[in-house]
Structure 1
């Protein structure tokens, strides 16, 4: 029987000073009790650290969340390791990227952390996500809960023997309503309760946004600067269909706020061409 462990999700501020976005990662240990200095120490202790397209952080902590703790839930360790390799830097080891093959193109740290946390899904138990991280609703608006490589992600789950995703995770476009609402849609529905037209407009725009974001880039892989500018434009389009208070309640930032989801230092050499 596969070992069942507790998976912990964490956050630190993203790479830009004063950023409204958090970087997220996952561990098998509580870093509030044991703070390992590096991944070698983690491995030697028989524990796991998933980089999730970020650096190594002994502990978490953000301005509104001193410990950076986002949640914990029991999960299947073998599945988590199969979905995404642990104790390996995503920039250097392709297996540590899950199906966020291209950073900033297929998703960012939030989506990769959620892929690890899919190991916490079980009958009667929804998978833990990093939904409490700052900037999460922005990234999931564009990239979804588990990234834009939906077919590859569904195939990875099947290969690893994990629980099948609901239809809305495995498809896009017209099938978006086939499964339960994801974190973004649930937030939008809560904020816009009683405003069906505004909700419908926002969700329709999101479908178009994700279709656009999922299109292959012509030529070379775009730079972090290009991706951040693209994402800012998509976010500004959402602001155009919402009142300022609605936008902030859903996305966690005021309309017009500069948001950079893509850390230029995380773009690996094999993506720089």
Structure 2
């Protein structure tokens, strides 16, 4: 057992979204400057499809701190390999195998934080800027649901306890967030769930090819957001997601997308 800390930094391509990552140490006290220093100190850092950050800082979170939680560090380390870049190490991807298709940093940070699961519930990075957009497009743990459940089942005895939700039993945080904001309006909740499912199918089929561009992915995501806004109304959409569809920032970082695809194609040619 040990402690996990969740952090945020603005994404390099837009200050409207937060990058999330997780550590076993408090960066406010120990601002290590490299992964080598982290490893030498006997600590762990999960980059979560990002680059190494000594500390965090956003306009909403000046020190980058989201929360800390007691967790099974061995379980987190099995689910997602620490101290490695996701674009370079398959284990550091968790089950977010294809960046921008299966998920982004929010989903991978949640996978690490699943090491803190208790009573079937684990903390998520819901207070990161842009999280509910991300959750709509990718879910809490990514689009590869079956792979994620297999990963949980295969990771240590601790993952097999009754604390682990059975397939389909995990909380649907986005739908609960929508109910908390809008009340239990079945038509709105159904629309959010349906449009989310539609985009998942598009992503895992049409957009999953090696030749897809980051612009195509972001454009497809924007189209589905606009469709949902047209169905539930702008006021409700903004209340749930924090942006109007036309103002919503793109979620996929072009630089990280390029790095992830370059590593993938290089691996397929090796």
User: Residues 34-73 of structure 1 correspond to what in structure 2 (within 5 A)?
Assistant: 34-73=30-69
Say if 2:17 and 2:251, in contact at 8 Å, map to a contact too.
yes
Question: Equivalents in 1 of 2:185, 2:86: separation in Å?
Answer: 41
Question: Equivalents in 2 of 1:220, 1:35: separation in Å?
Answer: 37
Question: Equivalents in 1 of 2:245, 2:167: separation in Å?
Answer: 32
Question: Equivalents in 2 of 1:217, 1:206: separation in Å?
Answer: 15
Match status 1:248 vs 2:244: no
User: Residues 168-187 of structure 1 correspond to what in structure 2 (within 5 A)?
Assistant: 168=168, 179=169, 181-187=171-177
Question: Equivalents in 2 of 1:151, 1:9: separation in Å?
Answer: 25
Match status 1:198 vs 2:188: yes
CA 270–213 in structure 1, closer or farther in 2 if over 3 Å, else same: same
Match of 1:262 in 2: 252
User: Where does structure 2 lack aligned partners over 5 or more consecutive residues?
Assistant: none
Match status 1:10 vs 2:3: no
CA 5–258 in structure 1, closer or farther in 2 if over 3 Å, else same: same
- 1:206 shift after superposition: 2.3
**TM-score calculated relative to the size of structure 2:** 0.89
CA 79–233 in structure 1, closer or farther in 2 if over 3 Å, else same: same
Question: Equivalents in 1 of 2:120, 2:193: separation in Å?
Answer: 26
Say if 2:222 and 2:245, in contact at 8 Å, map to a contact too.
no
Identify the structure with the greater helix proportion.
Answer: 2
Show CA shifts across 1:64-121 (max 9, x none).
2212211111111111111111111111111110111111111100000011111000
**TM-score calculated relative to the size of structure 1:** 0.88
- 1:229 shift after superposition: 1.3
Query: 18, 25, 50: which one pairs with 1:22?
Result: 18
| Runs of 4+ displaced beyond 4 Å | none
Q: How many residues align?
A: 258
- 1:244 shift after superposition: 2.2
Query: 95, 100, 108: which one pairs with 2:96?
Result: 100
Question: Equivalents in 2 of 1:91, 1:246: separation in Å?
Answer: 37
Show CA shifts across 1:137-158 (max 9, x none).
1111011110111111111111
Match of 1:167 in 2: 167
